[in-house]
């Protein structure tokens, strides 16, 4: 009998070694190695050979262009993130924290697809058929074309996919299914890699679209492996605060469309509803609660402009070292803005605590928010209310210059749409459009932005 060999596999990056290691030499994580057993004399992967044979080498010029066929999900925010619908034969990964709403959105999507006569197989590896039925009732999903299959074994799942030939398969979730080909437990890197590989082959050879759900670990990675991200065609991240009602779908890899597109949803008692105008959502309370230290910026999520409120609080510190706390903004960025304010306009905050918060719990990770943050801090220090009809865009350079930002026209349009009468933008941004009904204030330097936006120090 052939000797059974075991190997140790890092559960966060997939690195393999013959003996146990405390620290992974590949990704540096500690205690991540798990023993896995190799089944000896494994048969060669015949389906992989078949797959390879379907596409012999061809001359580039001889390849016929048939545009990919896409299925619309009838949920426009989801379609946008996918790049215009689900591409036939593609493998999509939806990743997110537990409880964020992954099963919900995919059950809703299944329901919508079934309405347009598509056949959907929903493989539930985590919940019983009864639990899915309960959720479906709540979401008012009912259809003869939707099949629920509570199963964790990949070979059985494969068999039913081949028998049924549905238009879409949903795997809920990839961490809960296993293949009998290898012996490690469900959720281990080897299992996930093998299952994902098999699903990819089904998708490509049978031309069936497959969406898999993946959980996210405490550190925020897709549980198990980066390998999963490399294998699939599209990776969509489902984000949001569990305690807030809105959710953001963000495409982080897409072989068939734009990345960094976002779709915004609100979680309600009957599932997720699309938020067609997200800026309104983030600004709901702005006009009612105008206080010193709050400004509106126009940030950009992908190609989509979003108006959000920034709040700053500055006060004398009771601590030996003043505090710098940033929620929704990178702390390094905040420190840089404070350094520029100190050096270029002489704002001394060395004895002050500074708190900056983005309202609505979203993260603003682009430099175009700099000027809005700076003005929020300045208005708080001077205890004046910033004009509520003015929005702000601009990156601050280290010498205090205001630098150009991308998608400027879209941002101005969005501000105008929400009723803003004035907008502060970088002078170096060339405008292609001629804007009417909104005053455009072009600024070159931070001091100029403060004098014209807030007024002279008094």
* Site for ligand TYD, rule CB under 6 A: 96, 98-104, 135, 138-139, 267, 269-271
- Among all chains, which residue has been given the structure tokens 């080498």? 57
109 is a contact residue toward Mg ion (CB under 5 A): no
- Among all chains, which residue has been given the structure tokens 């068999």? 159
73 is a contact residue toward Mg ion (CB under 5 A): no
- Residue with smaller CB distance to ligand TYD, 39 or 134: 134
The binder of 270, among ligand TYD, Mg ion, none, by C-beta within 5 to 8 A per type, is: ligand TYD
CB of 422 to ligand TYD, least distance (A): 39
CB of 104 to Mg ion, least distance (A): 8
The binder of 231, among Mg ion, ligand TYD, none, by C-beta within 5 to 8 A per type, is: none
The binder of 166, among Mg ion, ligand TYD, none, by C-beta within 5 to 8 A per type, is: none
- Residue with smaller CB distance to ligand TYD, 99 or 320: 99
- Residue with smaller CB distance to Mg ion, 103 or 279: 103
At residue 314's C-alpha, the angle toward residues 311 and 319, to 5°, is: 135
The binder of 269, among ligand TYD, Mg ion, none, by C-beta within 5 to 8 A per type, is: ligand TYD
Nearest to 441 by CA among 426, 430, 454, 455: 426
CB of 263 to ligand TYD, least distance (A): 15
CB of 124 to ligand TYD, least distance (A): 10
Quick check: helix, strand or coil at residue 369? Answer: helix
Which pairing describes strands 209-215 and 91-96: parallel, antiparallel, or unpaired?
parallel
- Residue with smaller CB distance to ligand TYD, 11 or 173: 173
CB 355 within 8 A of CB 383: no
| DSSP bridge pairs for 305 | 300
The binder of 230, among ligand TYD, Mg ion, none, by C-beta within 5 to 8 A per type, is: none
CB of 127 to Mg ion, least distance (A): 7
CB of 370 to ligand TYD, least distance (A): 34
- Residue with smaller CB distance to ligand TYD, 63 or 269: 269
Is 30 buried (19+), middle (13-18) or exposed (0-12) by CB count in 10 A? exposed
103 is a contact residue toward Mg ion (CB under 5 A): yes
The binder of 23, among ligand TYD, Mg ion, none, by C-beta within 5 to 8 A per type, is: none
CA atoms within 13 A on the CB side of 405: 31
Nearest to 325 by CA among 344, 286, 352: 352
CB of 173 to Mg ion, least distance (A): 7
Residue 175 to residue 173: CA distance in whole angstroms: 5
The binder of 101, among ligand TYD, Mg ion, none, by C-beta within 5 to 8 A per type, is: ligand TYD
The binder of 104, among Mg ion, ligand TYD, none, by C-beta within 5 to 8 A per type, is: ligand TYD
Q: How far is CA 150 from CA 135, 154, 192, 201, in A?
A: 14, 12, 18, 22
Encode 242-274: b = buried (16+ Cβ within 10 Å), e = exposed: eeeebbbbbbeebebbebebbbbbbbeeebbee
Residue 89 to residue 244: CA distance in whole angstroms: 35
Contact range with Mg ion by CB under 5 A, out of 98-106, 218-226, 265-273, 433-441: 98-106
Number of neighbours of residue 28 by Cβ within 10 angstroms: 11
CB of 266 to ligand TYD, least distance (A): 10
The binder of 40, among ligand TYD, Mg ion, none, by C-beta within 5 to 8 A per type, is: none
Which pairing describes strands 70-71 and 146-149: parallel, antiparallel, or unpaired?
unpaired
357 is a contact residue toward Mg ion (CB under 5 A): no
Question: What is the binding site for Mg ion (CB under 5 A)?
Answer: 103
């Amino acid at each position: 009998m052939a000797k059974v060999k075991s190997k140790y596999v890092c559960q966060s990056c997939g690195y393999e070694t013959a003996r146990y290691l405390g620290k992974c030499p590949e990704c540096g994580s500690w205690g991540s190695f798990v023993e896995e057993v190799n089944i000896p004399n494994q048969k060669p992967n015949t389906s992989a050979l078949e797959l390879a044979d379907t596409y012999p080498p061809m001359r580039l010029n001889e390849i016929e262009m048939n545009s990919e066929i896409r299925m619309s999900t009838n949920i426009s925010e989801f379609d946008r993130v996918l790049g215009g619908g689900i591409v036939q034969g593609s493998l999509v990964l939806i990743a997110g924290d537990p409880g964020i709403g992954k099963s919900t959105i995919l059950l809703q999507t299944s329901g919508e697809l079934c309405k347009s006569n598509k056949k959907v197989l929903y493989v539930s590896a985590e919940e019983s058929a009864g639990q899915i039925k309960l959720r479906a009732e709540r979401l008012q999903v009912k259809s003869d074309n939707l099949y629920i299959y509570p199963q964790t074994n990949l070979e059985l799942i494969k068999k039913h996919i081949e028998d049924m030939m549905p238009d879409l398969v949903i795997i809920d979730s990839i961490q809960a299914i296993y293949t009998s080909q290898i012996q490690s437990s469900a959720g281990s890197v080897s299992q996930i890699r093998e299952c994902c590989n098999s699903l990819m082959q089904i998708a490509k050879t049978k031309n069936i679209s497959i969406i898999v759900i993946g959980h996210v670990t405490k550190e925020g990675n897709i549980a198990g492996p980066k390998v999963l991200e490399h294998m699939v065609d599209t990776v969509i991240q489902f984000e949001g605060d569990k305690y807030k009602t809105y959710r953001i779908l963000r495409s982080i890899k897409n072989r068939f469309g734009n990345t960094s597109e976002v779709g915004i949803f609100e979680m309600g008692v009957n599932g997720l509803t699309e938020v067609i105008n997200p800026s309104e959502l983030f600004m709901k309370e702005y006009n009612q609660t105008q206080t010193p230290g709050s400004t509106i910026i126009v940030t950009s999520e992908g190609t989509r402009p979003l108006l959000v409120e920034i709040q700053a609080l500055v006060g004398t510190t009771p601590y030996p070292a003043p505090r710098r706390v940033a929620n929704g903004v990178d702390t390094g960025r905040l420190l840089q803005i404070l350094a520029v304010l100190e050096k270029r306009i002489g704002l001394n905050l060395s004895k002050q605590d500074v708190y900056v918060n983005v309202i609505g719990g979203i993260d603003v990770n682009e430099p175009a928010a700099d000027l809005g943050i700076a003005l929020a801090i300045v208005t708080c220090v001077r205890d004046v209310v910033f004009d509520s009809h003015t929005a702000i865009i601009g990156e601050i350079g280290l010498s205090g210059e205001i630098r150009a930002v991308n998608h400027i026209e879209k941002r101005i349009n969005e501000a105008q749409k929400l009723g803003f009468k004035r907008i502060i933008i970088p002078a170096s941004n060339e405008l292609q459009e001629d804007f009417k009904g909104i005053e455009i204030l072009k600024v070159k330097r931070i001091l100029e932005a403060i004098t014209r936006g807030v007024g002279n120090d008094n």
